[in-house]
Amino acid sequence: MHRSLLVPLMLAAALALAACGGDDEPAVDADTDAGDGDVEVTVEGEDGEDVTVRGEEDEDGGMSAEVESDDGTVGLDAGNLPDEWPDEWPVPDEVEVSNVFTLEDDDALVIEGMLAHTGDFDTTIAYVESLADEGWDVTVTDDSDEFVDRANVEIEGFGWGGEIEILEAPNTVMNITLVDG
């Protein structure tokens, strides 16, 4: 996303939040620096609870956005893995990050992501199975049919648990859900 588009999108999100609720005008505090692509907008609700929307673009063109309130945090990373991604899960150059969502509250951290693998279906399965060499428990079930190559994977380790759906139609995509907590 171009830096010039990030600022108006983040401001629009904050103004939409400000429009929700009662008759009182919520206080909006915006800190934008279009020069480096970083945006932070805080909206104070009627009950004094703050909602903060942050966005930034990195030097590689990846974008991240985060909405934080007293109830928890929701984040989006496009083109990059989030900081919360497990160090024990290496991601090679053949894997491209499409988008990753994070949801965090007092009880758990959930990472939902779509990653594309430049290899074919079998190469992607081999990559996921190789995570066992890193210490993960990996169980792969091949659910392919005459129309699409598909596998479902259960994965556990390092305090995380989750599943991966691997599809090849026509590109190989991994839809990943990880839960920590």
Structure token digits, residue 138: 């990996």
Instruction: Return averaged pLDDT per consecutive 10 residues of the chain, 181 residues in all.
Output: 45 50 57 64 77 77 78 81 90 87 85 88 93 96 92 96 88 89 66
Distances in Å between the Cα of 8 and the Cα atoms of 2, 11, 86, 95 are: 11, 5, 32, 31
pLDDT, tens digit (0-9, with 9 covering 90-100), for 152-172: 999 999 999 999 999 986 678
pLDDT on residue 88: 94
